């Protein structure tokens, strides 16, 4: 497993991050432990979770299962100090029952129920995360959902206090627009507060439809911004779009494709399939390999397998080598 520098911190993290969102709910403990053990054996260090994982996987859940499972894994293996541990706050909701419609989480309702990033809310969230995981600090703490109701000064001063106390080493932001990220960085510079060194956004090989308006998806402007500001590393969630690259039938009607049916999506899918054939890999593996090859800006793909089989299907991507010609073919497809 290769490593990359997180921003300009000098901190080396594994080039692939393991998302633990489903662990403890849709992923049972035995399977989760297998994935965590294998990831560590492969040289993986970057683990990602959140305090809200995963109320939306099981009705009646109040969240925290992922962090609790990680706490048990740390206690069993003694590997806390070998891991770069990231968690998040502000993404929990105020009324879990109100965010369900029948047997499905209703995100249209949930978006109006986020607890936000106020000082007391974040303080309670971080302390809860530390308690559930049985640790005294986290290496990276994200504002999970950008909160435009709370003054940024309040949020940033609170986060600075976390770093000063030693409970948090580095800060990040997720689901955030580029102009907000710049505003955050300006305020940090003005007040001498620690600035975000990572931004966690949805990002994959396919390009989003230009008409999509989402704070969560990396667009051309955000990529350009990150190229000019390499002190912020892109941690890319949903890099393989729920695995749709491998299955045309699944891709045809999967909700994950809804925001990526752009004018050049067919050309880019064809390019992935062609290169995958050349390197004897699956399209999913090829997309992960493409992302692991990116340096401008650096991108850390965050995988979130639900099963051991899904995890093992992605591991070979670590060994896929793409030539300059193959990378160029992928990059220019559909341009």
The predicted pLDDT at position 262 comes to 87
Antiparallel, parallel or unpaired: β 17-19 and 46-48: parallel
267-276, long-range: CB < 8 A, 24+ apart? 267/333, 267/334, 268/205, 268/206, 268/207, 268/330, 268/333, 268/334, 269/206, 269/245, 270/333, 271/329, 271/330, 271/333, 271/334, 272/205, 272/245, 272/330, 274/329, 275/322, 275/326, 275/329, 275/330
- C-alpha distances in Å from residue 17, one per residue of 44, 116, 288, 301: 7, 26, 11, 6
Determine the Cα–Cα distance for residues 84 and 46; give it in Å rounded to an integer: 5
DSSP, residue by residue, 60-72: T--S-HHHHHHHH
Determine the Cα–Cα distance for residues 160 and 175; give it in Å rounded to an integer: 20
CB atoms within 10 A of CB 128: 17
pLDDT tens sequence across 9-26: 999 999 999 999 999 999
pLDDT tens sequence across 78-125: 999 999 999 999 999 999 999 999 999 999 999 999 999 999 999 999
pLDDT tens sequence across 69-81: 999 999 999 999 9
CATH class held by domain 3-243+290-322: alpha beta
What is the total residue count of the chain? 335
The predicted pLDDT at position 311 comes to 98
DSSP-derived letter for residue 236 is E
* Candidate from 30-39, 97-106, 131-140, 158-167 with smallest mean pLDDT: 97-106
- Asked if 297 contacts 227 with a C-beta cutoff of 8 angstroms, the reply is yes
Is the model's pTM score more than 0.85? yes
* Candidate from 35-39, 135-139, 172-176, 256-260 with smallest mean pLDDT: 256-260
pLDDT tens sequence across 273-317: 999 999 999 999 999 999 999 999 999 999 999 999 999 999 999
CB atoms within 10 A of CB 193: 20
Residue 335 has pLDDT above 80, yes or no: no
Average pLDDT, the chain: 97
Residue 177 has pLDDT above 90, yes or no: yes
- Bridge partners, 301 (sequence order): 236
């Amino acid at each position: 497993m290769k490593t990359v520098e997180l921003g300009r911190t000098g901190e080396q993290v594994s080039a692939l991050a393991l998302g633990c969102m489903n662990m403890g709910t849709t992923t049972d403990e035995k399977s989760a432990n297998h994935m965590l053990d294998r990831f560590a054996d492969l040289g993986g260090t970057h683990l990602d979770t959140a305090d809200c994982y995963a109320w939306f996987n099981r009705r009646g859940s109040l969240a925290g299962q992922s962090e609790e499972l990680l706490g048990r894994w740390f206690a069993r293996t003694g590997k806390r100090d070998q891991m770069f541990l990231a968690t998040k706050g502000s993404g929990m909701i105020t009324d879990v029952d109100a965010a369900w419609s029948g047997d499905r989480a209703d995100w249209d309702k949930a978006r109006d129920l986020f607890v936000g990033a106020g000082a007391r809310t974040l303080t309670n969230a971080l302390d809860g995360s530390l308690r559930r995981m049985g640790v005294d600090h986290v290496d990276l703490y994200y504002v999970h959902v950008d909160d435009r109701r709370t003054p940024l000064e309040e949020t940033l001063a609170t986060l600075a206090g976390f770093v000063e106390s030693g409970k948090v080493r580095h800060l990040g932001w997720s689901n955030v627009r580029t102009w907000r990220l710049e505003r955050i960085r300006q305020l940090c510079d003005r007040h001498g507060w620690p600035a975000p060194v990572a931004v966690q956004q949805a990002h994959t090989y396919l390009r989003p439809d230009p008409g999509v308006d989402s704070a969560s998806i990396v667009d051309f402007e955000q990529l350009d911004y990150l190229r000019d500001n390499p002190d912020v590393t892109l941690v890319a969630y949903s890099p393989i779009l729920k695995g749709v690259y491998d299955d045309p039938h699944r891709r045809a009607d999967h909700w994950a494709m809804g925001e990526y049916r752009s004018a050049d999506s067919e050309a880019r899918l064809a390019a992935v399939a062609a290169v995958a054939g050349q390197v004897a890999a699956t399209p999913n593996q090829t997309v992960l390999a493409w992302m692991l090859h990116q340096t401008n800006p650096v991108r850390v793909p965050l995988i979130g397998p639900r099963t051991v089989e899904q995890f093992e299907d992605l591991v070979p991507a670590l060994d896929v080598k793409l030539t300059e010609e193959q990378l160029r073919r992928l990059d220019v497809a559909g341009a």
